Copies of this chain bind each other. A is one copy, B any other.
C-alpha cells in the first residue's frame, strides 16, 4: 500500500481547507453572514441593522446567526476564540532574551498580517472591503464594540507579559499598562489603516507605531510621515523590500 492511501487517524490534515461538505458549508455561511453584516452596517450604521436583517441577507434564520457569532457585534471582528491564548503563548516564548516590549512588537506585527489576510479571505474586491471597514469605523457604536472586544485580548497579553517577566500583576503595573497601551495602539492602527484605504500595509503601520512607542512618542516621529512616505516612496519601498 502507498503512504498516500492510508487515511489519517487524527482527522483531516492540519493544513489546507476542510474537505468535508459539512465544514465547507459552515465556512460558507460564516462568510456570508460576515459579508452581509459588513455591507449592511456600512450602509446604515450598526444601530440601524438588526440581527434579523443580517440573517435574512445571508438566508439563514436569526437563530442560526447566534450559532455562529455570540453577539451582533462579534460578526464584525475576527471572532477567533483561541486567538487570545495563542497570543499569550507567543508572547511568552518569542525572541527570548529580548525586552518584552520588542517581543510584543514582533508578535503583534505578525498577528496583524494574519488579520489582514483573513479580511482578504472574505473575497471580492479588497478595496471595496476596506471602504466598508472605513465607513464602519466612523460609527461610534462600532468603535465601542471593538474596544470592548480588544479588552479580552488585552487581558491575555497582560498575562503573557507578566509570565515572560516573572512579574506579579497585583504589585507590578508594568505588564497591564504596556498591554493596554499596545493593544490600543494596534486598534488605532487598524482604524487608521482602514481610513487610509489600505494604502499602507497594516504591518508597517503597526511596526512604526511600536517604534514610536519605544522612542517615547517624539513629535517628530517617522510615524507622522508614513502617508507621505508611501505616496512618494511606494515604488522605492517595493524595490528595497527591507523585510
Chain A residues packing against B (C-beta within 8 Å): 99-101, 140, 143-152, 154-155, 165, 167, 169-174, 176-185, 187-189, 191-192, 195-196, 205, 209, 212-219, 221, 223-224, 226-228
Contacts and interface: CB of A to CB of B under 8 A. Distances in A.
A133 to B, nearest CB: 15
Instruction: Report the copy number of this chain in the oligomer.
Output: 2
A216 B99 CA distance: 12
A23 to B, nearest CB: 30
A177 B185 contact: yes
Contacts of A191: 176
B172 A180 contact: no
Contacts of A171: 196, 227-228
Given A177-B223, A181-B182, 8 more contacts: A143-B151, A144-B148, A146-B151, A147-B154, A169-B192, A173-B224, A176-B191, A181-B217
Nearest to A172: B224
Given A192-B173, A217-B178, A224-B174, A150 B147 contact: yes
Given A147-B150, A219-B100, A227-B171, A188 B192 contact: no
A176 B151 contact: no
Contacts of A184: 154, 180-181, 183-184
A188 B176 contact: yes
B216 A216 contact: yes
Contacts of A165: 219
